Every structure is written in structure tokens, then in C-alpha cells.
Amino acid sequence: MRETPITIDGPCGQLEALYLDVPDARGVALICHPNPVQGGTMLNKVVSTLQRAVRDMGFTTLRFNYRGVGASAGSHDMGTGEVDDAQAAAAWLQAQHPQLPLNLLGFSFGGFVAASLAGRLERQGSEVRHLFMIAPAVHRLQPPEALPEQVRLTIVQPEQDEVVEPQSVYAWAEALPRAHELLKVAECGHFFHGKLPELKELVQPRL
């Protein structure tokens, strides 16, 4: 099954995206990519691995480029703008499949984006089934972008992450006042070199 290139109306113009409609899907999954300033795009290998992981479990998928990335209009905001883009992508996905539960996955900066979107949607009365934060940039999670309280939360953190300080993620997770699952990946750096199959194996059973 190959993804279809599409464009979505975003807050700053067209957003470039890849969409895969899985027959008899169990749910839909939106995947958010890492920091565009550091070369992050929807074609990032961790994002691609997450897309395949959820696809193989029977989920319709959508990944997209934030404003100013690839063919997406606008310029980087590095904050709420990217969350606005993700909300537009989620709204498009849910409009195609209004009966299916929404799942959000984000890698690195995308973990901040997915978490912020999940919190925003929850406050607006929209349901998110599961939030996966992969090597998340937790230091960016400042008000008004707050975590959701009800959404099922899984955090996957490489133990030898050279981009996001692992101890900062552990401390952040420990301080969370809500239930969550923290999974540590041994002998693994930020980009999961040689560990992408392990990432897939961690995500899939939790879907």
C-alpha cells in the first residue's frame, strides 16, 4: 500500500502531506515530524517507521510537512504555528473518517506538537484515543499548550539520546500528575540508528 500525496488547507496556506487510506481501518493516526530548523520533514526515517508501524496494525495514516517545510506554504513558527498546522491536518483526517478514533504520534519536536494538539483537542471536546511521544522535546511544553488529562499516553525515550537529554524526559514524566507509560530504549540514540525495528515493536502492541 502506497501513500497518496495530497495538499491540505492550513492556517498559512497549503500543507504538503502523505495519506494512506487503509481498508476497514481500526482508527486513524496523525504523525508529526521533528524540528524543521534541524532538517526535520515528514520523510524522516523515524516518522516513516511510525507510519509503517501503525499502517501494519490497520490504521489509516496521515503525515504532513509543517509550514515552510517542503512544499508547505508559510515559514517556521517553532511553536503554536506548527500545532495549528497539525490541528488542520487532524481536522482533514477526521473529516474523511468521522467514525474512527484519532491517534497522535510525534517524534522529537513532533512530540511537543502532538502532545500540544492532544491537549488542545481535549479542551475543545474532541476525543483522542492515544498519544505517542517519541524522544519528545518536553522542554517546549509550556502553557498555554498543556498536555491532555484523559488521553492514553505512551512515552518512548532512547537512553543515549544526544539531542533530547534523557534525564530531562525521565524527570518530566515522573512529575506528571496523570497516568502514563514510559519506555526506555537501551543503547539507542535520538534517531534510533539500528533500533527502528525495536521502536516498531514497542508501538504496535500498544495500538
What size, in residues, is the chain?
207
Tell the burial category of 151 from Cβ atoms under 10 Å away from its Cβ (0-12, 13-18, 19+).
buried
| Predicted confidence (pLDDT) per residue in 35-51, tens digit | 999 999 999 999 999 99
User: Which domain CATH number covers 73?
Assistant: 3.40.50.1820
C-alpha R_g of the chain: 15
Average pLDDT, the chain: 96
Average pLDDT over residues 121-145: 91
Stronger pLDDT, 147 or 103, i.e. the higher one: 103
Alpha helices in 31-130 (DSSP H): 45-56, 80-96, 109-123
Q: Which domain holds residue 120?
A: 4-206
pTM exceeds 0.85: yes
Q: What is the domain count for the chain?
A: 1
Alpha helices in the chain (DSSP H): 45-56, 80-96, 109-123, 166-174, 196-203
What pLDDT does residue 82 have?
97
| Predicted confidence (pLDDT) per residue in 154-194, tens digit | 999 999 999 999 999 999 999 998 999 999 999 999 999 99
Is pLDDT above 70 for 18? yes
